Homo-oligomer: A and B are copies of this chain.
Amino acid sequence: MEIIRIPRIVQDTCKKYRMKGRSVGFVPTMGALHEGHLSLIRRSRMENDITVVSIFVNPLQFGPSEDLARYPRDVESDSNKISALETDILFLPDDALMYSPAFSTSVEVAGVSEKLCGRFRPGHFRGVATVVAKLFNIVSPTRAYFGQKDYQQTVVIRRMVKDLNFDLEVVICPTIREHDGLAISSRNTYLGPEERIAAAAIHRSLSRGAGAVLQGERSAGRIREMVEEGLAAEKLINRIDYVAAVDLATLDDVEEIGREIVLAAAVRIGKTRLIDNLLVNV
């Protein structure tokens, strides 16, 4: 595995592969790699000649009161995991090479960026879209891999790819879960033992809502109430940012469930903000 820190060198290396007709799979990450990330890398390995993984804790996508400083970092352990999966290139840029002092460009996807988590994390998806646009231009991948756990992020990125004519395929991979259903996330490491048990209520509540849809309930309002009740029953969940039943592409609220929807929730347990979602078909 090659470890490259300079964007220009990654760009030239990837371009050489593409010129030889090789397909390039790309898995952008913020490190603190877990089974979710590894499933993306495995999928990229299966579908492409070359796999590039990036680790970059992107300051642009953290709000001023968010967890940028304490976001988990362990490059050596990450690097070993990536290497064990026979990744070809690990791209490890530092902040200064990604954002020069004169940096002043942003990519904004209006509409879908402002819903759900966007209401609680202003600027977050602008930061995501901007860094992903940069990474796409550096790596010029054939396919880029994202986890469904960050569902809104996948919608924002797909919209950006279409709108700005990026020539690549966005591949969304299923959420990987712990045995009790908790979606695996780098932020789970923030949870104390009791909080960790409480966190399982998120998936349990979403699943109950999804089950009710499958059994014929068509009122999104009643489904949301069911999920909220499940979450409220867990005392360590100290805030529910939202429970939402939304359209797959627009993220607009659905009232009557007549087609496949996303059932999504964001909560706080202590200071830790956790999100999860389920695709629910009628």
Chain A interface residue count, CB cutoff 8 Å, equals 35
CA distance A166 to B19 in the complex (A): 17
Within the oligomer, what is the number of copies of this chain? 2
CB distance from A133 to the nearest CB of B (A): 5
Residue of B nearest to A108 (CB): B106
CA distance A105 to B100 in the complex (A): 23
Q: Which of B102, B109, B162, B164 contacts A159 (CB 8 A)?
A: B102
CA distance A187 to B210 in the complex (A): 59
CA distance A49 to B18 in the complex (A): 19
Chosen A-B contacts, 25 in total, with CB atoms closer than 8 Å, are A7-B165, A11-B165, A18-B19, A100-B163, A102-B249, A103-B163, A104-B163, A105-B107, A105-B159, A105-B160, A105-B163, A105-B164, A106-B107, A106-B108, A107-B107, A107-B164, A108-B108, A133-B164, A134-B165, A137-B164, A137-B165, A137-B166, A137-B167, A138-B165, A140-B167
Decide if A90 is an interface residue (CB 8 Å cutoff): no
CA distance A35 to B259 in the complex (A): 56
Known: A102-B159, A107-B107, A137-B164. 9 other contacts (CB 8 A): A18-B19, A102-B162, A104-B163, A105-B109, A105-B164, A107-B164, A133-B133, A134-B163, A137-B165
Interface of A, secondary structure class, is mixed
Binary flags per residue of A93-111, CB closer than 8 Å to B gives 1, else 0: 0000000101111111111
Q: Which of B18, B104, B133, B163 contacts A112 (CB 8 A)?
A: B104
A residues lining the B interface (CB < 8 Å): 7, 11, 15, 18-19, 21, 100, 102-112, 129-130, 133-134, 137-138, 140, 159-160, 162-167, 249-250
Determine whether the beta carbon of B108 is less than 8 Å from that of A105.
yes
Report chain B residues within 8 Å CB of A164: 105, 107, 130, 133-134, 137
Report chain B residues within 8 Å CB of A249: 102
CB distance from A96 to the nearest CB of B (A): 14
